[in-house]
Amino acid sequence: MASGKSVAIVGATGAVGLEFLTCLERRNFPVGRLRLLASARSVGKTLTFRGESLPVEELKPESFKDVEIGLFSAGAAISREYAPMAVKAGVTVVDNSSAFRMDPEVPLVVPEINPEDIRHHKGIIANPNCSTIIALVPVYAIHRRNPVRRMIVATYQAASGAGAKAMEELRVQAADVLAGKPAVKKVFRHQIAFNLFSHNSKIAENGYNEEENKMVKETWKIFHDVTVKISATCVRVPVFRAHSEAIWIECERPVEEAQVREWLTGAPGLRVVDDREGNTFPMPIDASGEEDVLVGRIRRDYSRDDGRGISLFVAGDQLLKGAALNAVQIAEILVNGAVAPNRASTGVVRLPFSPDTAVLPR
């Protein structure tokens, strides 16, 4: 233990924070010391890591002394305030919030896609938005062989994306509705139990909500390609912790279904679940607790005549690959210097993305 890294988790008691602990333990991350940081009201709680009970400490400017790696998931405001302090104290921050994702100095990384971008970091590496990660792991397996020119995405997003309280709200509302009582709304503006609604983020001027616009801009930055055309409809569904997505992609050249199946089967971070006979495809309950993103319903998009369209259905754990796991994978690369196979073979180290080219369509 003493030879491991000194790690701090910021937002340790949140839904993602708890998964940081699980991921570090399960993946045998070389943790020397672990500090659990949260707001003052969590002080007094303890969390278990490798059988040891650790106290939750209050997050303060001086919390980062002797910390090497900081895993942040306490919202954008906390990240904006504390991540620069942590960097000044010598910490390398992997930030799960949206605070720095579009910062040209900050790499935005999915380890299966652009691990080499990590090399450009100046103290902070950003974790992409959950629905973006879960879509891009499978889409990139195609994109790297036959560039994706257009992408249509409809999401089926779990309550977990809005935190532990939203998961609890789904549970309480479902029990109340079953008992014939009205659904009490606290976290979400609309009833989540036995209902669904357009994603609970603000609608931008272009008519798309923030979640949808994130998918556009983050894909551009992760793919290093601002020419990919994307339209997404993001929807919250009454599911606890895994996001599903229906995806239609249009490639640069004609693409065969069998070829796509082969690419997806061999790609890191993916598991193909495509049993037509048994009518079994990716489902959120199967993706929950899984590190891999599940991908299936692989079929030609017959609404295109030119053979350039493919349709997929995916499901991935929002708290794992959509958040904590992806961040821990980034931390693993920081520690090992290892870069996932996909792009390393090209030997290309691209410059960090400039947001000047990332103007949203309107």
Catalytic residues: 130, 243
Sole residue written with tokens 């943790």:
31
Q: Indicate which single residue of 78, 222, 230, 333 sits in contact with its own copies (rule: CB under 8 A).
A: 230
Looking at beta carbons only, is 20 or 208 nearer to its own copies?
208
Does residue 304 belong to the site contacting its own copies (CB under 8 A)? Answer: yes
Please tell me whether residue 60 adopts helix, strand or coil conformation. Answer: coil
Q: What are phi and psi of 314, to 5 degrees?
A: -130, 155
Of 114 and 311, which has the nearer Cβ to its own copies?
A: 311
Reduced to 3 states (helix: H, G, I; strand: E, B; else coil), residue 329 is helix
Among 238, 268, 307, 355, binds its own copies (CB under 8 A): 238
CB of 307 to its own copies, least distance (A): 11
- In degrees to the nearest 10, what's the CA dihedral of 342, 148, 145, 345? -30
Structure tokens that stand for 140 in this block: 């990139």
Shortest Cβ 157–its own copies spacing (Å): 11
Among 46, 48, 206, 357, binds its own copies (CB under 8 A): 206
Using CB under 8 A, which of the segments 132-140, 270-278, 320-328, 331-339 binds its own copies? 270-278
> Does 281 help bind its own copies (rule: CB under 8 A)?
yes
211 contacts 234 by C-beta, under 8 angstroms: yes
Residue 231 CA to residue 254 CA, distance in Å, equals: 21
Residues 334 and 71: beta-carbon distance below 8 Å: no
Among 26, 50, 88, 190, indicate the residue that binds its own copies (CB under 8 A).
190
Q: Which of residues 85-144 bind its own copies (CB under 8 A)?
A: none
**Binding of its own copies by 197 (CB under 8 A):** yes
Report the residue from 22, 233, 259, 265 that binds its own copies according to the rule CB under 8 A.
233
Counting DSSP H helices and E strands in the chain, the numbers are: 9, 15
Q: Count other C-beta atoms under 10 Å from residue 118's C-beta.
A: 19
Stretch that binds its own copies, among 9-17, 48-56, 112-120, 291-299 (CB under 8 A): 291-299
Residue closer to its own copies (CB basis): 64 or 156? 156
Measured between alpha carbons, how far is 351 from 362 in angstroms, rounded to an integer? Answer: 27
Q: Closest separation between CB of residue 156 and its own copies, Å?
A: 6
| Closest C-alpha among 108, 83, 92 to residue 355 | 108
Cα separation of 246 and 233, whole Å? 10
Core vs surface per residue 248-263: b (16+ CB within 10 A) or e: bbbbeeebeeeebbeb
Token output for 95: 């930030």
Alpha helix (H) residue ranges in 194-256: 210-223
Site string for its own copies, 210-229 (x = CB under 8 A): ------x------------x
Where would I find the beta strands (DSSP E) of 302-359?
309-317
Closest CB 45 distance from its own copies, rounded Å: 24
Instruction: Select from 27, 26, 32 the least CA-distant residue to 8.
Output: 32
Q: Which of residues 2-21 bind its own copies (CB under 8 A)?
A: none
Q: Give the residue from 172, 165, 69, 171 showing the smallest Cα distance to 118.
A: 69
Pairing label, strands 92-95, 235-236: unpaired
CB of 71 to its own copies, least distance (A): 28
Considering only 52-60, 84-92, 196-204, 322-330, which stretch makes contact with its own copies by CB under 8 A? 196-204
**Among residues 193 and 339, whose Cβ is nearest to its own copies?**
193
200 binds its own copies (CB under 8 A): yes
Nearer to its own copies, 197 or 266 (CB): 197
Interface characters, 150-179, with its own copies (x: CB under 8 A): xxx-x-x-------------xx--xx--x-
Q: Are 307 and 299 in contact (CB under 8 A)?
A: no
| Contact status: 235 vs its own copies (CB under 8 A) | yes
Residues that bind its own copies (CB under 8 A): 150-152, 154, 156, 170-171, 174-175, 178, 189-191, 194-198, 200, 202-203, 206-209, 216, 229-231, 233, 235, 237-240, 244, 246, 248, 257, 276-281, 283-285, 296-305, 309, 311, 313, 361-362
